[in-house]
Structure 1
Amino acid sequence: MVRRYFSSTNSMNICIASFCRAKELLKAEAVLVDGIKLGVVPDVVTYNTLIDAYCRFVSLDAGFSVMHRMEEARIVPNVVTYNSLIAAATRYRLLSQSIDLFDEMLCRGVSPDIWSYNTLIHCFFRNGRPNEAYNVFRNIILGETMPDVATYNIMINGLCKNGYVDNGIMMFRNLKRHGFVPGLDTYNILLDGLYKWRRWGTAKRLLLEMGQSGYVPNSITYTTVMKGCFMCRKYEDAFDIFNEMKSRGYAFDSFAYCTVIGALLKLSNVEDAYKCMNHMVKTGMELDVVAYNTLINLFCKSLNFEEAYRMLDELESQGLECDVYTHTILVDGLCKAGDIKGAERHLRKMDMMGFFSTLVAYNCFLDALCKTGWIEHALHVFNSMKEKDGFTYSSMVQGLCRVGRFRLASKLLLKCVSHGMPILAADKRAILSAYHSSGFKSEIKAFRSKLRVP
């Protein structure tokens, strides 16, 4: 049976690649085993295909295990091997492993290509290290490897995402002066960054410039502008853009629908959000994790948790991997519905899944405990949390002030300051008001001086 399908390494690789694309890794492994039995010798492409598939659909460790098998077969890993592993480490935000893999590649005499550099730059940006990302980019410019359009797009996107919008614009302008012709993707990336940082005027001028350059906006452009309008509360303009997209016959993707559904939910317009969801489902559109998250959020907002969990089951049955946001949405929905115990059970489930960070979910749960008056339970959860931010402390401070435990609240707020975290003006006012109403006016001055409040 196997002979019928392949009689050479190349045909075997095609079979393995087909099974890998279909996420049928066991069948891909069976093809490899049968091929070896028939005397078909696997090569570096064979193992690279498996490494990429295992990294994408299983884990980085699974990819490493295939690499070890590859070395045992005396096949030397090449740049494609390392690129797949570095890309997987980047997806999981494992910066140290990405750097180690890059260094290992250099030590073994494997020359990085532009995709190696691009992936490493992206990894630095994803982990909030823009300076190191820029250093890698500078090394490309000074070295023999030529940057490509993807390099520039990753740089501009990373700078904007990390708050360096002006640097992103400056790079865009410098590149144009040096003969770089930006594509529509580059304009879309820069527009997205400008809207996220509320640079409305600059975004409007860029849109005009894009039109003058002869580019016709695509669905991503429209969706980006629409999302920007929602962010600056220009809801009518946003819905006008949505209708214009439909009138021009643009094929809507799930991102466009999810943007509109998310905006309608923020406006508490659940009825229209349901209509938009039904229209999206009727089109037969293939849903991704973001789309499922939006639908789960919609059902949670309408307190329809049966449908929310059905969406979760459907997501997993489609072979998609739930992310931390999926479960955070459910925890937040359960908290707002008053099902504190249900939210806590779901938090335990998240802990067992080993997510990179569950801070947002714990913040939602802690805030719900404080608002329902379960202060002792909230303190227990607060003390058990390994990761905290300003919102964690804020929920605890407000909760303690509500029950008159303002001295402990002030200690927590001062601890937050000592850790260099930003504090909310509302938290300072809550403690000062509690001190004042309780007659401890002498302690107000000491508290102000410690906070350096004028």
Structure 2
Amino acid sequence: FANVVTYNAFIDAAGKNGEFREAKVAFEEAKRNRFADVVTYTSFINAAGKNGEFREAKDAFEEAKSNRLADVVTYTSFIDAAGKNGEFREAKVAFEDAKRNSFANVVTYNAFIDAAGKNGEFREAKVAFEEAKRNSFANVVTYTSFIDAAGKNGEFREAKVAFEDAKRNSFANVVTYNAFIDAAGKNGEFREAKVAFEEAKRNSFANVVTYNAFIDFFSGIFI
């Protein structure tokens, strides 16, 4: 009684639980039984990316495109997989391809900014962030991803500018505050971390992660 939804759910579950081999078997079986659709390919790319199997993600992505079974989510999943596995060049190629083929949306931009930040490509993150804002593709996650990318790459001034812009445009939430406090901590900016921490508490934007991020700052000072 298995159908396409069953296969997709199983591939997703296997990927989330570190059972990539099981995801692979189900993916191949789904294709043989003609139960593979856009979601099947996307779920498998996600599973491969999460489990360090980038080559499998790449092969599935190329196959999805060849079979016209790739959409915005497929491209976004592949960009995320590439970013997680240190394959920034592949993320960049897919991002540009997505834009050319009208397969880029706010989530695609967010995934690319995150991938760039994780791989030390801050300039690429900055270009995508500015482009997202120009194209009205920026949301809370976009700002948060960029602040995180800036913090990871020693660009605290850029993180600060984005954080202030996010607050002005109502694109700041608890995760944005947490990302900024973390960025300040990574870059030795105690005063900025303290101001944001107090502001987060006043605006009910503080949670356990906020407190932990602020405490981590002190841990770094006194270790």
Normalization by structure 2: what TM-score?
0.77
User: How many Å apart are 1:211 and its aligned residue?
Assistant: 6.5
1:291 to 96, 103, 108: 108
What amino acid is aligned across from residue 80 of structure 2 in structure 1?
A: G
Show the 5 A alignment for 1:138-153: none
Of structures 1 and 2, the larger Rg is shown by 1
Cα deviation 1:97-148 (Å, max 9, x = unaligned): xxxxxxxxxxxxxxxxxxxxxxxxxxxxxxxxxxxxxxxxxxxxxxxxxxxx
1:388 to 173, 196, 206: 206
2:49/2:82 contact within 8 Å kept: no
Show the 5 A alignment for 1:50-129: none
1:401 alignment counterpart? 219
1:308 alignment counterpart? 128
1:367/1:395 contact within 8 Å kept: yes
User: How many Å apart are 1:325 and its aligned residue?
Assistant: 0.8
Partners of 2:5 and 2:135 in 1: how far apart? Answer: 29
1:333 to 118, 143, 149: 149
Partners of 2:126 and 2:50 in 1: how far apart? Answer: 31
User: How many Å apart are 1:217 and its aligned residue?
Assistant: 0.8
2:159 alignment counterpart? 343
2:90 alignment counterpart? 272
User: How many Å apart are 1:204 and its aligned residue?
Assistant: 5.8
Cα deviation 1:170-209 (Å, max 9, x = unaligned): xxxxxxxxxxx66523542453244234455765675577
Q: 1:220 to 1:365 in 2, by over 3 A?
A: same
Partners of 2:163 and 2:126 in 1: how far apart? Answer: 18
Q: 1:271 to 1:325 in 2, by over 3 A?
A: same
2:61/2:70 contact within 8 Å kept: no
Q: Where in structure 1 are there 5+ consecutive unaligned residues? A: 1-180, 405-433, 435-454
Aligned residues: 217
2:186 alignment counterpart? 371
Partners of 1:370 and 1:383 in 2: how far apart? Answer: 15
Partners of 1:239 and 1:209 in 2: how far apart? Answer: 19
User: How many Å apart are 1:365 and its aligned residue?
Assistant: 1.5
RCO greater where, 1 or 2, for CA within 8 Å and sep 6 or more? Answer: 2
Instruction: Report whether the alignment pairs 1:231 with 2:46.
Output: no
SS of structure 2 residue aligned to 1:233: coil
2:140 to 324, 328, 349: 324
User: How many Å apart are 1:224 and its aligned residue?
Assistant: 0.7
1:299/1:307 contact within 8 Å kept: no
Q: 1:359 to 1:333 in 2, by over 3 A?
A: same
Partners of 1:262 and 1:364 in 2: how far apart? Answer: 19
Partners of 1:206 and 1:267 in 2: how far apart? Answer: 23
What amino acid is aligned across from residue 360 of structure 1 in structure 2?
A: V
2:80 alignment counterpart? 262
Instruction: Report whether the alignment pairs 1:242 with 2:61.
Output: yes
Partners of 1:306 and 1:200 in 2: how far apart? Answer: 34
Partners of 2:130 and 2:81 in 1: how far apart? Answer: 23
- After superposition, the CA RMSD in angstroms is 3.2
Partners of 2:24 and 2:94 in 1: how far apart? Answer: 28
What amino acid is aligned across from residue 369 of structure 1 in structure 2?
A: A
Cα deviation 1:211-268 (Å, max 9, x = unaligned): 78x4431232012112101111122222232333345x23421222222222222233
1:76 alignment counterpart? none
Q: Percent identity?
A: 23
1:188 alignment counterpart? 8
